[in-house]
Amino acid sequence: MIRSFSLLALSACLVVVLSLSSTFAFSPDNRLLNSLYDKVDAVYTTSPSRILHAYHALPFAKIRVHNKSELLYYLDKLEAYIHGKLFTFTEQPNFVCLDTYVQKNDTVEVDYTITNTANGALIVTTLANLAREMGIPLSKVSNTLAFNPWNAQVMPGMDTLVLGTKIHQRTVAVLEPRDAYGEYTESKRVTFSGKLDPVIQMSTKGERVVMKTTVDGEEKLLVGTIIEKTNASATIDFNHPHAGETVLLSLEVMRLFKACGK
């Protein structure tokens, strides 16, 4: 059932969009969006649960107007704004603890699988059954991952995907490189010559090494792969091995520990 707030928002969008589209090409109306956002804020200060109900109803509203691109634009914007109010904002009036939903600063433990979208190659999984199906040794199966959403502990796309999900809800998204393992940058491919660092001296081509180095003018402790090595020089790639790849991320929240308490 669509609650009164959702009907109000949908009706407002419908009236404005239909009046515009009847005579003009569609052009987003920022005044309408700001008015809808103001309504969300006003309701949220007194009844956060109504905003949660509206958030649940919006996907059904979008299905009902799937052939009206103008309406979908506004409903998508509204859904994103409400998601922010409920799950990602740090200062929330009358903060509501959503017991079964993942919010910022909660602790979650997830099962997850990441594959390369171009060739379907498995990058990492916590699922033993999937590994068996793909002929991957069980020794390569990762442990479940525990982290606090939105605290830069995991790739950005995983933070975004897990926020707002429920425990034992499986969710999937395609992540561009910037949201996954990062863009590939040539500046992270560094050649060392002369007296080599002992870490490099003791390593061979193809090995992963951890060392301090200066990249883009800043000294950092980085992990890199030795891609070329001679007695006098070595080239190390400090990009992530899967940098530049578009990936498919699938995850399920197995355990949820609320930061806001009961």
Residue 91 CB contacts under 8 Å (≥ 6 apart), including other chains: none
* pTM for this prediction: 0.72
Q: What is the pLDDT of residues 7-36, one digit of tens each?
A: 455 554 544 444 444 445 567 778 888 888
CA–CA distance, 169 with 134 (Å, rounded to integer)? 24
Whether the Cβ atoms of residue 40 and residue 91 lie closer than 8 Å to each other: no
Nearest CA to 126 out of 256, 257, 258, 249 is that of 249
What type of residue is 48?
P
DSSP track, 92-139: -TT----TTB--TT-EEEEEEEEEETTT--EEEES-HHHHHHTT--GG
CA–CA distance, 201 with 194 (Å, rounded to integer)? 11
Biggest CA-to-CA distance, the chain: 74
Cβ burial 198-229 (10 Å sphere, 16+ → b, else e): eebeebeeeeebebebeeeeeeeebebbbeeb
CA–CA distance, 123 with 114 (Å, rounded to integer)? 5
The full length of the chain comes to 262
> What is the H or E stretch that residue 248 is in?
strand 247-257
Name the burial class of residue 232, with classes exposed (0-12), middle (13-18) and buried (19+) by CB atoms within 10 angstroms of its CB. exposed
pLDDT of 69:
81
pLDDT of 248:
96
> Token digits for 21?
């589209």
Q: Which residues of the chain have pLDDT under 70?
A: 1-26, 89-95, 215, 261-262
Whether the Cβ atoms of residue 53 and residue 19 lie closer than 8 Å to each other: no
Strand partners, 110: 145, 253
pLDDT of 27:
73
Could you identify the residue written with the tokens 């199906």? 133
pLDDT of 105:
85
Q: What is the pLDDT of residues 212-248, one digit of tens each?
A: 877 677 787 889 999 999 888 999 999 999 999 999 9
CA-to-CA dists, residue 218 to 67, 181, 187, 231, angstroms? 51, 20, 12, 27
